[in-house]
Amino acid sequence: MTEPFVNTSPRTWDEVKTTTCYMCACRCGIRVHLKDGRVTYIDGNPAHPVNKGVICGKGAAGIMQHYSPARLSKPLLRVGERGSGDFREIEWEEALGLATQWLSEVRAKDPRKLAFFTGRDQSQGLTGWWATQFGTPNYAAHGGFCSVNMAAAGLYTFGGSFWEFGEPDWKHTRYFMLFGVAEDHASNPIKKALGQLKERGAKIVSINPIRTGYSAIADEWIGIRPGTDGLFVGALIHEIVSAQRIDGDYLLRYTNSPWLIIENPGGEDDGLFARNAQGSALIWDGHSSSPMPALSPDAAPKLMGRYKLPDGRRAVTAFTLIAERFLDPEWAPENIAARCGVPAETIRRIAAELARTAFEEEIALDVPWTDHLGRYHEKMIGRPVSMHAMRGISAHSNGFQTCRTIHLLQILLGTIDVPGGFRYKPPFPKPAPPGVKPAGKPGQVKPNTPLPGPPLGFVAAPADLLVDAEGRPQRIDKAYSWDAPLAAHGLMHMVITNAAKKDPYGIDVLFMYMANMSWNSAMNVPDTIGYLTQKEPDGSYTIPKIIYSDAYASEMVHYADLILPDTTYLERWDCVSLLDRPISEADGPADSIRQPVTEPDRDVRPFQTVLLDIGARLGLPGMTRNDGSPRYPGGYPDYIVNHERAPGIGPLAGFRGANGRAQGRGAPNPDQLQAYIANGCHWFHELPDHMKYYRHVNWAYLDWATFFGFIARPDPVIHQLYCEPLQKFRLAARGHGSIVPPAGHRQRIADHFDPIPFWYAPFEGELVAAEQYPLHAVTQRPMAMYHSWGSQNAWLRQILGRNWLYMARELAARHGIADDDWVTVTSHHGRIKAQARLMDGVNPETVWTWNAIGKRSGAWNLAPGADESKQGFLLNHLISELLPEREGGYRYSNSDPVTGQAAWYDLRVRIEKAADQQPASEPQFAALKTLAGAS
């Protein structure tokens, strides 16, 4: 008898198209399988440089994102009160006409009155340029509440950073330290790489209060107390400097360690670099016993010492100050251990392991190269220690200085862009800090006029701030003011609060894109909803008009007036651009596109095309021709191909020029998108071996990067261990210079703008009574959900449809709490009720949960009793966006004082077993009406 044939792998497609995943920010290449035009299956693209065929659960579940029942299907105009869910479906022409009318009124009166903020959108090259053309400085994306501490710390120190700016040398590293990373930032690339490290026997050390995800597979887990990583790293520095286990050659050649700092206490030049008449920083030359320019090829710079300059002033090398700080006994492991919860012997052992790996397992690649001073090197010397950090460092009010401390450790070991160390991803390195300044000073914002530069940039001195003569902020989020001088990504978490309080001023239109600001992207959800619905005495809303674009019926949709429904990521063109947040590899630049693999079956339009359309209707100069017609009538794909940011440089670097063979710089190529599709929707240019390391000082690379438009000039990027821009702010706080902080800000600037990394306690812990709120509370993201945009997915919610409050068994026992008990969690700001789960592998003073799992009843087209809303919860309700009042009544935002990064993880709480054990989380908000537009 023959066995019946069962086809266990039926072919479910008749067509396969490549594109780029949007289920998280890693942007892997994917292959979308279609049958009769419907998506049936998604897998990884083996030829793609980011993931090389790997697909994760989120990426494969993109199919359910595409067919989500929460998709919006038609433009909507609010007809009831905000929050009521009463909308009227309208046609696109009416929607675009209304948006244009509202925005043109603002632009003609005062462009600042438009606040344009986007969430995790991946088209910031376009959205930032649009804001510039509109003329508003009030623009940013979500970086200010995600990772600007990390980005700014790296960019101001060595012209690169973790995450999209660089990565460990996975092939050669032998000791990998991971700070504050759960299972995100990055996802597939890190998973793949951790597998490689395991295969090679490299050691992985994870520093994280919680042992999940990557920490669970680490060789060593250090369950640190939240917010104290800077103490731990400072103690490691103490150990390696004490033992003189540092890379002196690297420090002398490629960092500002030997640069001379003026010592003139009380003087206006105190703490600034000693410079010659041409402005070059000076070092002390051991041959001539005199100062010489820092970049003199023949000099023999001294690393340590104090010297008298020819003009009589005293100067000290930067490294001397660094060594003096970290050799102080206060940094000794014994004095750090109790505060960070890591035994002194562990700190000492890790420091010894780092030094041993860096110096006794040195790598020497037989690759000759020439440095910035023309010095020929026969080999590329590597130190196989690498590090990566993300939100566990970034989301604290001390995150900028903590991340600078990590970079200091990396650089003392000589591990930046060397074999085995941390590697830049082009277009990085950039100058430290990058030269672009934010626009929006008084006088730069004019009716019907573009800004003279981009709204986001890098301030290097008080003169770059966006403040008026009295020191008042010019931006609605107070970025680049004395509240947050180095706010390179803005402060999105403050926009709604500040607009409602009219502090520093009110706005007329709030325009947002895929930012769930009435729910999981807001600190203090109840008050934020209050601000969105707050009215003036005449009955009008305090924030008069809210335009919102999203593909899904998220909680934010209910609080907007005009909804512009977006497509899913499988229905539109997109570009992942080197002008924006690229997908480059360390071995070379890369970019990619998304192509529409299927047509929308709803009346929706891609946001980027809509934005260009509105821009043309408004007559924005970059989006219209001289005759007033649209410059990009073909929408976003037209822009991607034909827009030039500088001559020959556009959103995509590949397949440029008339024949499609130019790379980086070349005329627009009308067939460029087809060339990308033919190449699997990506482009990658592998650098020759002699340009793959030491790129901050690699002559050939710097020349090439200048041609590609990555940097303006082929100047070396000398690592700024001593950060002079910070000292300029500190001098201003001491009253020096023409631009000084108002009296109330001075102490805060003086305290936190230290040019040498240091540690201070996270603010919330200092402001509340420790005995009342003894515990830390943080969130993480699970494997199945990276950013909240992917959290509502029919497949993934089966893995994690609700969340619990996790805590250590001994902590629970102290409070009489058992597994699955309902508990109250109280902060100085609010109280929630959640269900407890006990676990091993968590810092005993920390409770935590998965982020953004909790949903508001009725949102996302979920059933009213869905687990997400009835049992799921957010910690957001416990977090205030404002710190308590200071003398004079002023309330700073709950942010890092240097960059304005939202301090989500500073939260302090207490827990108790709930009196009410009813199985429901609290607070419960009134159910939102299911939107008529949700398909």
Would you say 51 or 827 has its CB closer to ligand SF4?
51
Minimum CB separation from ligand SF4 for residue 54, in Å?
7
Would you say 783 or 859 has its CB closer to ligand SF4?
783
Q: 27 to 46, contacts with ligand SF4 by CB under 6 A?
A: 27-28
Give yes or no for residue 593 binding ligand SF4 (CB under 6 A).
no
Sort 436 into a burial class: Cβ within 10 Å, 0-12 / 13-18 / 19+: middle
Measure the CA–CA gap between 568 and 606, rounded to whole angstroms.
8
- The residue with tokens 């700014």 is 152
Q: 9 to 28, contacts with ligand SF4 by CB under 6 A?
A: 21, 23-24, 26-28
Q: Which amino acid is at 841?
A: G
Which residues, 6+ apart, have CB-to-CB distance to 479 below 8 Å?
140, 144, 438, 466, 473, 487, 490, 491, 900
Would you say 58 or 910 has its CB closer to ligand SF4?
58
Tell how many helices (H) and how many strands (E) occur in the chain: 26, 34
The b/e string for 460-471 (b: 16+ C-beta within 10 A; e otherwise) is bbbebbbbeeeb
Minimum CB separation from ligand SF4 for residue 30, in Å?
6
Would you say 24 or 222 has its CB closer to ligand SF4?
24
The two three-digit tokens of residue 521, written as one number: 């992207």
Measure the CA–CA gap between 587 and 426, rounded to whole angstroms.
8
Minimum CB separation from ligand SF4 for residue 682, in Å?
13
Stretch of 55-63, 193-201, 676-684, 724-732 contacting ligand SF4, by CB under 6 A: 55-63
Q: 719 to 738, contacts with ligand SF4 by CB under 6 A?
A: none
Residue nearest to ligand SF4 (CB): 59
Would you say 59 or 414 has its CB closer to ligand SF4?
59
The two three-digit tokens of residue 267, written as one number: 């003087």
Minimum CB separation from ligand SF4 for residue 869, in Å?
25
Distances from the Cα of 748 to the Cα of 335, 732, 870, 896, angstroms = 26, 12, 42, 11
Minimum CB separation from ligand SF4 for residue 32, in Å?
12
Stretch of 56-64, 171-179, 208-216, 472-480 contacting ligand SF4, by CB under 6 A: 56-64
- Phi and psi (nearest 5°) for 343? -55, 145
Q: 167 to 226, contacts with ligand SF4 by CB under 6 A?
A: 187-188
Minimum CB separation from ligand SF4 for residue 400, in Å?
27
Give yes or no for residue 55 binding ligand SF4 (CB under 6 A).
yes
Give first-to-last CA distance, the chain, whole Å: 50
Q: 58 to 77, contacts with ligand SF4 by CB under 6 A?
A: 58-59
The two three-digit tokens of residue 294, written as one number: 């820092």
Would you say 55 or 570 has its CB closer to ligand SF4?
55
Select from 779, 782, 770, 786 the least CA-distant residue to 806. Answer: 779
Would you say 24 or 210 has its CB closer to ligand SF4?
24
Measure the CA–CA gap between 52 and 59, rounded to whole angstroms.
14
Stretch of 51-59, 574-582, 673-681, 791-799 contacting ligand SF4, by CB under 6 A: 51-59
Stretch of 52-60, 596-604, 649-657, 755-763 contacting ligand SF4, by CB under 6 A: 52-60
Pick from 32, 34, 39, 56 the residue near ligand SF4 by CB under 6 A.
56
Minimum CB separation from ligand SF4 for residue 514, in Å?
16
Pick from 18, 19, 45, 51 the residue near ligand SF4 by CB under 6 A.
51
How remote is the C-alpha of 357 from its chain's centroid? Answer: 30
Minimum CB separation from ligand SF4 for residue 336, in Å?
36
Q: At what angle do helices 92-109 and 607-618 cross, to 10 degrees?
A: 50
Minimum CB separation from ligand SF4 for residue 568, in Å?
14
Minimum CB separation from ligand SF4 for residue 643, in Å?
25
Minimum CB separation from ligand SF4 for residue 56, in Å?
3
Would you say 28 or 90 has its CB closer to ligand SF4?
28
Measure the CA–CA gap between 168 and 154, rounded to whole angstroms.
14
**Please, what is the Cα angle at 319 between 315 and 324, to 5 degrees?**
90
Minimum CB separation from ligand SF4 for residue 901, in Å?
23
Would you say 533 or 598 has its CB closer to ligand SF4?
598
Select from 176, 217, 208 the least CA-distant residue to 342. Answer: 208
How remote is the C-alpha of 815 from its chain's centroid? Answer: 37
Number of residues that bind ligand SF4 (CB under 6 A): 13
Measure the CA–CA gap between 906 and 900, rounded to whole angstroms.
14
Minimum CB separation from ligand SF4 for residue 51, in Å?
6
Would you say 168 or 399 has its CB closer to ligand SF4?
168
Stretch of 49-57, 113-121, 520-528, 858-866 contacting ligand SF4, by CB under 6 A: 49-57
- Phi and psi (nearest 5°) for 399? -65, -35
Stretch of 50-58, 165-173, 463-471, 562-570 contacting ligand SF4, by CB under 6 A: 50-58
**Please, what is the Cα angle at 760 between 334 and 316, to 5 degrees?**
85
Measure the CA–CA gap between 589 and 575, rounded to whole angstroms.
14
Would you say 27 or 225 has its CB closer to ligand SF4?
27
Q: At what angle do helices 743-752 and 724-733 cross, to 10 degrees?
A: 150
Would you say 68 or 402 has its CB closer to ligand SF4?
68
Minimum CB separation from ligand SF4 for residue 28, in Å?
3
Minimum CB separation from ligand SF4 for residue 209, in Å?
24
**Sign of the C-alpha dihedral computed for residues 748, 751, 753 and 759 taken in this order:** negative
Measure the CA–CA gap between 163 and 184, rounded to whole angstroms.
10
Question: Which H or E element spans position 115?
Answer: strand 114-118
- The residue with tokens 């001289």 is 626
Stretch of 5-13, 48-56, 168-176, 582-590 contacting ligand SF4, by CB under 6 A: 48-56
Measured from the Cβ of residue 743, the count of other Cβ atoms closer than 10 Å reads: 10
Sort 443 into a burial class: Cβ within 10 Å, 0-12 / 13-18 / 19+: exposed
Would you say 21 or 321 has its CB closer to ligand SF4?
21
Minimum CB separation from ligand SF4 for residue 69, in Å?
20
Would you say 162 or 307 has its CB closer to ligand SF4?
162
Would you say 187 or 524 has its CB closer to ligand SF4?
187
Would you say 616 or 784 has its CB closer to ligand SF4?
784
Give yes or no for residue 649 binding ligand SF4 (CB under 6 A).
no
The two three-digit tokens of residue 878, written as one number: 């416990």
Binding residues for ligand SF4, per CB under 6 A?
21, 23-24, 26-28, 51, 55-56, 58-59, 187-188
